[in-house]
Amino acid sequence: MFYLELQPSFSDTDALGHISNTTLPVWFEQARMPLFRIFHPTLDVKTWPLIIARVEVDYVAQSFWHLPVEVRTGVGRIGNSSFQAVQEAWQDGKLIARGTAVMIHFDYETEKSLPIPQDIRSQLAEHVVE
């Protein structure tokens, strides 16, 4: 499991003073950085090997700008060419959101998925969560 603590900014809020529903997917993407590094340590976008196929976010509780948020990132199902990034956002000891992103190991030149190599699969397996 990977952990990222974020300090929300006032601009992350909506008209009601809550963290905006559009902010959580951005935070979740930022917190997937360690998973991106497993596939591509340099993070060079010219040779990027991943594409996102699906994102789901469940908003569980209200959240506010003045308290830090911890995003927890693990790995769910690992398939032949795809895997799930499983994430939760916590604020002040309370679960505020959970999400899943399906990432595909992808070749942009051929526009086809690629099998996840065994060494990467092993690294992902170290972070599998229930």
Kindly write down the DSSP assignment for every residue of 76-109, as one continuous string.
EEE-SSEEEEEEEEEETTEEEEEEEEEEEEEETT
pTM equals: 0.94
- pLDDT of amino acid 17: 87
Q: For residue 60, is it within any domain? A: yes
Q: For residue 23, is it within any domain? A: yes
Q: For residue 65, is it within any domain? A: yes
63-116 confidence digits (pLDDT tens):
999 999 999 999 999 999 999 999 999 999 999 999 999 999 999 999 999 999
Domain containing 27 equals 2-125
- pLDDT of amino acid 61: 97
Count of structural domains within the chain: 1
39-57 confidence digits (pLDDT tens):
999 999 999 999 999 999 9
Q: For residue 67, is it within any domain? A: yes
Question: HSE of 124 in the Cβ direction (CA atoms, 13 Å)?
Answer: 25
